[in-house]
Chains A and B, each alone.
Chain A
Amino acid sequence: MRDVAIIGAGMTKFGRSPGDLMDILAEASLRAIEHANVGKEEFDALYVSNMMAGETAHQTAVASSLADRIALVPAAADRVENGPASGGSALKNAFLAVASGCYDLVLVTGGEKMTTADTDIITDLVATMTHPTAEYIHGVTLPAMGGMLTRLYMERYGLTERHLAMVAVKNHANGLKNPYAHIQRACTIEGAMSSGVIADPLRLYYVCPISDGAASLVLCPLDKAKKYTDKPVRIAGVGQATDVQALQEREDPTVLKSVKIAAQKAFKMAGVTPDDIDVAELHDAFEILEIAESEDIGFFEKGKGHLAVEKGVTALDGELPINPSGGLKARGHPVGATGVAQAVELFWQLRGEAGERQVKEPKRALSCNFGGFGNNTVIHIFERGW
């Protein structure tokens, strides 16, 4: 396998975009291509992550359309769909293609246009990821799953609502420093704890917003990266794992087994341990997930993640900053874009280009893109390639 590098990144401002899905996919892609300094070179392939264009934009085969729109024809083009982990899967596919020696210059773009549809339609589309007969038909939505997991955590590990509010306050504070974030507004513990109940014990402030947005990366072999940039970011490890679909069928429903296994695989490939990670982007579609993932990745002992939040370990200036971008809570969660946006943030962080939210000299970073309700997770480890 060849070493693989990211040489350029770009994204749109997340939130409510004036353009349609193809507009934002093109905007993010062109920013990444320009940033990668590849000029008019031909790309071998593009991977486009998107979850619901067929349903929300009434458009299918968006990868072929993007190749046409930004003049990448005749590059190979595929749309990649893995629910909210589509972005992580697209990046993984691109990594494998470059690592194998098949392709030299590859574009990865993730995007979703969600704000044009009614909230209940989006909630329903996302809910169709759950088990069709054991979950979905009973009225289960993703917030309902988040609510049930949160209650288990409270019963088992002593997590309180205040801990969820602390994660929200931290991520809102980080989002305020991120010009690409959907939500750029500080929040307080009291404000979060008095917001409306969505899926008890989850309130509005413990749930990510519905956003539009796109993010993009350019990949090439590490040994060719110096031609384009002095600071290539190496993809050191990749891990992906599935779990049984229904939450109630998991041996211990508080353990996110797909996260655990994906992390173990990524650490093994990278030859590092959780202690070697300086900054992480985790999938906090619900604030409980940031805590649960931080434990199952191996940063903190199971059931102790909330104590790390309490001590400020995961704050921007803490020992292990988590979600410097604001996470899904504040940056927003255009489902197909999220996994790519996590990698874009870590690319900027490693290169020291994250502006006001820059973490102090990180050398190695980890992203966790959580699909379904934890039944398909993709984890990447990035490090300085210079």
Chain B
Amino acid sequence: MVEQKFVGYKCRSCGRVMNPKHDRCLSCKGRDFDEVELPKVGKLVTYTKLYALPQGIEMPPLTLGIVDFGVVRVLGQLATDEPRIGMSLRPVWGKIRRLNDKDIYGFRFEPVS
């Protein structure tokens, strides 16, 4: 799986950056977007340690969190057992789970040491 860039989608009409991608801008309904790279470091807004695991995740707990990158917030798995609100995290590309017998790739977030 080719590593993807950690990006947002910037509306050409009003400049709002979104992630995930929408077909029309949530602010101005514009339809054209440019891919823009997101900041390399974000801050943890909230998290949960999930013990009732979904399929394709092997070891509890699965730590999930929302990370604020300034222009957008992004949700993902956290590669730490000791999450703290406000901690700095960076996106890392890799396999995140198996789903319907397929490997799923995406960004997870690891602490910036």
Contact = CB atoms under 8 A, between A and B. Distances in A.
Contacts of B51: 196-200
A123 B99 CA distance: 14
Interface residues of B, number: 34
Interface in B26-46: 26, 45-46
Nearest to A254: B46
B66 A139 contact: no
B62 interface: yes
B47 interface: yes
A240 interface: no
B54 A124 contact: yes
B48 A138 contact: no
Contacts of A198: 50-52
Contact of A144 (B19, B50, B73, B96): B50
Contacts of B46: 148-149, 151-152, 155, 253
Interface in A72-101: none
B96 A138 contact: yes
Contacts of A41: none
A123 B52 CA distance: 9
A147 interface: yes
Contacts of B50: 139, 141, 143-144, 147, 198-200
Given A148-B64, A244-B26, A199 B52 contact: yes
A383 to B, nearest CB: 36
A137 B57 CA distance: 11
B90 interface: no
Contacts of B47: 148, 151
A131 B18 CA distance: 14
B75 interface: yes
A141 B75 contact: no
Interface string A131-173: 1011101111101100111011001000000000000000000
Interface in B47-89: 47-57, 61-62, 64-66, 72-77, 85
A365 interface: no
Contacts of A320: none
A207 to B, nearest CB: 9
A247 interface: yes
A248 B45 CA distance: 9
A200 B20 contact: no
A201 B49 CA distance: 8
A141 to B, nearest CB: 6
Nearest 4 A/B pairs, CB to CB: A147-B48, A248-B73, A134-B20, A200-B49
13 contacts: A124-B55, A131-B20, A134-B74, A138-B96, A140-B54, A143-B50, A151-B85, A197-B49, A199-B49, A200-B51, A248-B74, A249-B20, A253-B66
Interface of A: 119-120, 123-124, 127, 131, 133-135, 137-141, 143-144, 147-149, 151-152, 155, 196-202, 244, 246-249, 253
Interface of B: 18-20, 26, 45-57, 61-62, 64-66, 72-77, 85, 96-97, 99, 104, 106
